[in-house]
Amino acid sequence: MYRLIRPVGPTLGNGRIIMIRIQKIMVPVDFSEASKRAVSYGLSLALEFDARLILAHIAAYDTAAYEKAKVDLLELVPLVCRERLTYEIVVKSAEVRSELLGIVDDQKIDLVVMGTHGRSYFERLMLGSVTERMLRKLHVPVLTVSHLDPQKEIHKPDTVPLKRILYATDLADGSEQGLEFAIRLARGLDAVLTVAHVIPSSDAAFRGIETAAAFMPHYANEVRAQAEERLSRNIALVSDGSVPISTTLTEGVPYETINALAAKDKADLIVINLQNKGRLERALLGTTAERVIRTATVPVLSLPLPALYASRWSAA
């Protein structure tokens, strides 16, 4: 069990103090199967980190629905957990996104755990409903648990396996903050860290250009050399050597390749950045991030950048 609540606190069996602190976790619940999976993860993480758990539901403007939601939320917390867990049931009646964002700010939430729904055509374009809209606006990390591999599913509160972390970086400006956070997370959880960058396939980049054949080899070599140099530089700047880091630089369709790397490495968690770019880019989340969140079969931790929350996650 990886517990850490304060700089001086519980230790692992080997006496090592965990350097990660999560004090408040929120799980938005709409009572779908996706949100119930998120509750299982939220409960488990709250027990692991001795964190306060907030289960939040936005109900209709109806007294009966409001009261029923409170009862239904409470039933999602198993009796065996209630004495071990500090938790709060929050039911409000208003616009879903604004209320949930308000709870995050008012309660000083450190982590939001959310489920995503199916893979309809509309959701392929927009990721869908509340999760996608929250990811646009939230300034704290968001853990999404959607189409999980059966081995990664948690059906009741249990230890969350977080021993293999894959950090997928786009090497954009500011991505060093995401790398630093991933290293801190791996160090705190005593996990193995792989840092990966995927260069979009050159055939896709040059599709439709008649002269592509003449320039593709030189261009591809130049792009790869630049990516290798930047990846090495970022790790050298950020890493303190306390966490062994393996790197992967490959080519392909980014989201497909990231998922394939996660499967190959048997990753327990994918960490990605949500860059604080222009309005349009932020509104669309970024093609790769959105597709990874939607299609990954392991939990995905999305890090809004800049990482203003990083100090709150650090216990030492």
Reported as a single tens digit per residue, the pLDDT across 120-129 is 433 433 344 5
Residue type, 103: I
What is the reported pTM? 0.82
- Integer Cα distance of 308 and 217 in angstroms: 40
DSSP class of residue 169 equals: -
Confidence class for position 166, pLDDT limits 50, 70, 90: very high
Q: What percent of the chain has a predicted confidence (pLDDT) above 90?
A: 36
Comparison of pLDDT for 237 and 54, the residue scoring more: 54
Of 301, 161, 177, the C-alpha closest to 238 is 177
Alpha carbon 101 to chain centroid distance?
17
- Looking at residue 202, its pLDDT comes to 59
DSSP class of residue 159 equals: P
- Looking at residue 13, its pLDDT comes to 36
Task: Annotate 194-261 with three-state secondary structure.
Answer: EEEEEEECHHHHCCCCCCHHHHHHHHHHHHHHHHHHHHHHHHHHHCCCCCCEEEEEEEECHHHHHHHH
Instruction: Describe the strand order of the beta sheet including 86-92 as a list of residue ranges.
Output: 86-92, 52-58, 24-28, 111-114, 142-144, 300-304, 269-274, 164-168, 192-200, 245-252
Which range, of 173-187, 203-217, 222-236, averages the lowest pLDDT?
203-217
- Integer Cα distance of 56 and 4 in angstroms: 25
- Looking at residue 206, its pLDDT comes to 47
pLDDT, tens digit (0-9, with 9 covering 90-100), for 247-279: 999 999 999 999 999 999 999 999 998 865 544
- Integer Cα distance of 158 and 45 in angstroms: 8
Domain 24-313 belongs in CATH node 3.10.20.600: no
Confidence class for position 305, pLDDT limits 50, 70, 90: confident
- Integer Cα distance of 204 and 216 in angstroms: 11
Residue 216, pLDDT > 50, answer yes
Comparison of pLDDT for 81 and 281, the residue scoring more: 81
> Residue length, the chain?
316
- Determine the average pLDDT of the residues in 292-303: 90
Chain mean pLDDT for the chain: 79
- Looking at residue 283, its pLDDT comes to 43
Judged by DSSP in three states, 307 sits in coil
What residues have CB less than 8 Å from 184, skipping those under 6 apart? 19, 20, 310, 313, 314
Pairing of strands 300-304, 111-114: unpaired
Confidence class for position 134, pLDDT limits 50, 70, 90: confident
Comparison of pLDDT for 259 and 8, the residue scoring more: 259
- Integer Cα distance of 158 and 143 in angstroms: 17
Comparison of pLDDT for 12 and 99, the residue scoring more: 99
The dihedral sign for the CA sequence 145, 147, 152, 154: positive
pLDDT, tens digit (0-9, with 9 covering 90-100), for 184-194: 889 888 899 99
Residue 117, pLDDT > 80, answer no
On the 0-12 / 13-18 / 19+ scale of CB atoms within 10 A, 150 is exposed
Q: Which two tokens stand for residue 172?
A: 């954009």
Alpha-helical runs (H) found in the chain: 33-49, 63-75, 79-82, 96-107, 121-126, 129-137, 175-189, 202-205, 212-238, 254-264, 279-283, 287-295, 310-313
- Integer Cα distance of 166 and 168 in angstroms: 6
Which range, of 145-149, 173-177, 201-205, averages the lowest pLDDT?
201-205
- Determine the average pLDDT of the residues in 42-65: 89
